[in-house]
Structure 1
Amino acid sequence: MRRTRPSVLIIAAVLGAVVGFGVDQLLTSAGRATFTPSLLLPVLLVLLAAATVLLALPIRRAITGRDRTPVDPFRAVRVAMLAKASSLVGAIMAGLSAGLLAFLLTRPVAPVGSVVAVVTTLVSSLVLLAAALVAEHLCTIRKDDDDEHAEPDGPPEPGLGLSHRD
């Protein structure tokens, strides 16, 4: 499994920002109030961040040898996938919050309550993104010396491997 690429996170954040700005633009053009995230959302994002890191810590201890219990590969993959998904959610929510905030700050009078809710969501999204990337790093297994000498997955190129006549 490959680690999450920064380009994927940047694209997710940009798309989230476009959606956030666009939703508020559509709502106000229809005469409705702007979208304001619930104050429970930042709490849930921070709890998800803490859970992701706490689930990755035992795997890191087993990998580094501090814990004598063997690493359950299925659990390690699940936690790594949770970290990857959490980083995407953090990037999307950070972008969405940034889009909402950009819309609110471009208005002549910004509603203070909405700005506070959007800023707390933005900060908690960034906390989730950082925690998910840390958890993904904690689940990374070091490369063995045997990995460098392993044969490639695909068929050998002509002239480089053994032929049928050898």
Structure 2
Amino acid sequence: MKRTHPTSLIACVIAGAVIGYLGELLLVTSGANAVVPPLSLPITLVGVAAIVLSLAWPIRRSVTGASTRRVDPFRAMRVAVLAKASSLTGAVVVGLGLGIVLFLATRAVVPNPGTLWLALATALGAAVMLAGGLVAEWCCTLPPDDDDEEHAHA
């Protein structure tokens, strides 16, 4: 499995922003209320980041030799995939939050400041989840072998 590339994260943020903005525009033009993310969403996103990091930390300790416990490689792969999924999902939700903020900020009628703060808090919570996923993904990578470096230079 390859590490998450920055271009895929940027594409996910842009796609999320477009979906968030156009989704709000579609709702408001059809006569429905704009969707405002609840306060529990950014709290949950930060919680998911903490859980992913707590799952990846023992793997990092084992990889670096700080722990003598052996880690199941299947568990390590599952945590790595969870970390990658967390970073990509965090990128999409960052875009959604920013798209909602952009939509609400560009309206002719000034929205309640609380709605802007909730959408911005969602984007910040998702950014924490994105960063946590990237750090956890880094924790699950193996350092290069000394034998591989010797063969590459020979």
TM value normalised by structure 1: 0.86
Q: 2:117, 2:98 → 1: CA distance?
A: 12
Q: What SS does the aligned partner of 2:41 have?
A: helix
Q: 2:119, 2:148 → 1: CA distance?
A: 46
Residue of structure 1 in register with 2:125 after alignment: 124
Task: For residue 107 of structure 1, report the CA deviation from its aligned partner.
Answer: 1.1
Q: 1:83, 1:126 → 2: CA distance?
A: 14
Task: For residue 63 of structure 1, report the CA deviation from its aligned partner.
Answer: 0.6
Residue of structure 2 in register with 1:98 after alignment: 98
RMSD, matched Cα: 1.2
Q: 2:24, 2:64 → 1: CA distance?
A: 48
Task: For residue 116 of structure 1, report the CA deviation from its aligned partner.
Answer: 1.6
Q: What SS does the aligned partner of 2:69 have?
A: coil
Alignment of 1:29 with 2:29, yes or no, is yes
TM value normalised by structure 2: 0.93
Q: 2:143, 2:71 → 1: CA distance?
A: 13
Which protein has the larger Cα radius of gyration, Structure 1 or Structure 2? 1
Residue of structure 2 in register with 1:158 after alignment: none
Amino acid corresponding to residue 90 of structure 1 in structure 2 = G
Q: 1:21, 1:11 → 2: CA distance?
A: 15
Residue of structure 1 in register with 2:6 after alignment: 6
Residue of structure 2 in register with 1:42 after alignment: 42
CA contact (8 A) 1:19 1:99 kept: yes
Summarize the alignment of residues 33-72 of structure 1 with structure 2, pairs less than 5 Å apart.
33-72=33-72
Q: Where do 5+ consecutive residues of structure 2 fail to align?
A: none
Q: 2:148, 2:4 → 1: CA distance?
A: 21
Q: 2:74, 2:98 → 1: CA distance?
A: 36
Task: For residue 69 of structure 1, report the CA deviation from its aligned partner.
Answer: 1.0
Q: 1:146, 1:48 → 2: CA distance?
A: 37
Residue of structure 2 in register with 1:157 after alignment: none
CA contact (8 A) 1:42 1:121 kept: yes
Cα-to-partner distance string for 1:76-100 (whole Å, 9 max, x where unaligned): 1011001000001100000010100
Q: 2:107, 2:136 → 1: CA distance?
A: 38
Q: 2:63, 2:146 → 1: CA distance?
A: 16
CA contact (8 A) 1:104 1:111 kept: no
Task: For residue 71 of structure 1, report the CA deviation from its aligned partner.
Answer: 2.3
Cα-to-partner distance string for 1:97-136 (whole Å, 9 max, x where unaligned): 0100000010131222211210110110000011111111
Q: 1:147, 1:69 → 2: CA distance?
A: 25
Q: 2:112, 2:100 → 1: CA distance?
A: 12
